[in-house]
């Protein structure tokens, strides 16, 4: 495996008129190609800030981020589909806005929609789809620009427990099949352990790395199966103890 992302001594201070907030103090990590890393930490510790900086939505205060010529894609918390656009148009929108839409890219998006069970819904509108299907559309929209690294910030948090399980299973399979790398931010330790090759535990704000776990399951499989693995509850309990609960 080769390294596709390196973050060194990342720091972020937010400035408002009233005060300065240090959200991220000294955060360093590497990501290997094909690796899924989950980041967990107490609420408000700076998790979203790290992803916002990686995706270019926020400026860093200091530190270095390098990912060569690799591309980064950002998956939002809600599916944010436009109800008045068809499924296909929703998926093409990003490319259209960036003026990057070509016949070839359109064919690629259609092939993804077909491959992942949405072939019959290209011309349907989002309100005809189940929550799970909508989330799959949102993922394919993110994949349309062919990112190498996917950033996901609590991507399943708006869903009920049952849907979270099936959708995390879906997202996991699709990203593995398409050979993407993932940085997943989540509150949910079970989700982190069942999806990540590695789990990074952050301190209270400002975010620094408190501990890192290499997740070695007896029979690594997909998220739902991983939850049944013998080693799963060991990691769950260790990480739970490590997080600074308020």
Ligand X SMILES: Nc1ncnc2c1ncn2[C@@H]1O[C@H](COP(=O)(O)OP(=O)(O)OP(=O)(O)O)[C@@H](O)[C@H]1O
Which residues make up the interface to ligand X (CB under 6 A)? 14, 16, 21, 23, 41, 43-49, 205
Nearest position to Mg ion, beta carbon: 48
| Structure tokens belonging to residue 170 | 């879906």
Comparing CB distances to ligand X, the nearer of 41 and 126 is: 41
Give the Cα separation of 121 and 135 in Å (integer): 14
Site for Mg ion (CB under 5 A): which residue of 48, 61, 124, 166? 48
Q: How far is the CB of 54 from ligand X (least distance, A)?
A: 12
Q: Which of Mg ion, ligand X, none binds 11 (CB below 5-8 Å, type-dependent)?
A: none
Query: What phi-psi label fits residue 233: left (phi over 0), alpha (psi between -120 and 50 degrees) or beta?
Result: alpha
Written in H, E and C, the secondary structure of 199-244 is EEEECCCCEEEEEEEECCCCCCCCHHHHCCCCCHHHHHHHHHHHCC
Q: How far is the CB of 184 from Mg ion (least distance, A)?
A: 12
Q: How far is the CB of 51 from Mg ion (least distance, A)?
A: 8
Spell out the residues 6+ positions from residue 143 whose beta carbon is closer than 8 angstroms to its own.
73, 112, 174, 178, 180
6 to 45: interface string for Mg ion, x by CB under 5 A: ----------------------------------------
Summarize as ranges the residues that interact with Mg ion (CB under 5 A): 48
């Amino acid at each position: 495996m080769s390294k596709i992302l390196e973050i060194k001594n990342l720091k972020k201070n937010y400035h408002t008129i009233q005060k300065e907030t240090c959200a991220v103090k000294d955060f360093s990590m590497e990501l290997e190609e094909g690796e899924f890393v989950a980041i967990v930490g107490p609420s408000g510790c700076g998790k979203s800030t790290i992803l916002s900086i990686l995706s270019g939505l926020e400026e860093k205060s200091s530190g270095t981020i390098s990912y060569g010529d690799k591309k980064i894609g950002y998956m939002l918390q809600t599916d944010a589909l436009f109800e008045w656009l068809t499924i296909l148009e929703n998926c093409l929108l990003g490319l259209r806005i960036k003026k990057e839409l070509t016949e070839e890219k359109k064919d690629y998006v259609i092939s993804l929609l077909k491959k992942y069970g949405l072939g019959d819904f290209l011309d349907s509108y989002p309100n005809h789809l189940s929550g799970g299907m909508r989330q799959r559309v949102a993922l394919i929209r993110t994949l349309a620009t062919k990112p190498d690294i996917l950033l996901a910030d609590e991507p399943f948090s708006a869903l009920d427990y049952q849907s979270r399980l099936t959708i995390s299973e879906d997202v996991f399979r699709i990203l593995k099949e398409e050979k993407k790398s993932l940085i997943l931010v989540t509150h949910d330790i079970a989700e982190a352990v069942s999806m990540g090759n590695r789990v990074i535990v952050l301190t209270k704000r400002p975010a620094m790395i408190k501990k890192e776990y290499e997740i070695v399951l007896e029979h690594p499989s997909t998220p739902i199966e991983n939850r049944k693995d013998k080693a799963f509850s060991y990691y769950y309990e260790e990480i739970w103890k490590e997080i600074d609960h308020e």
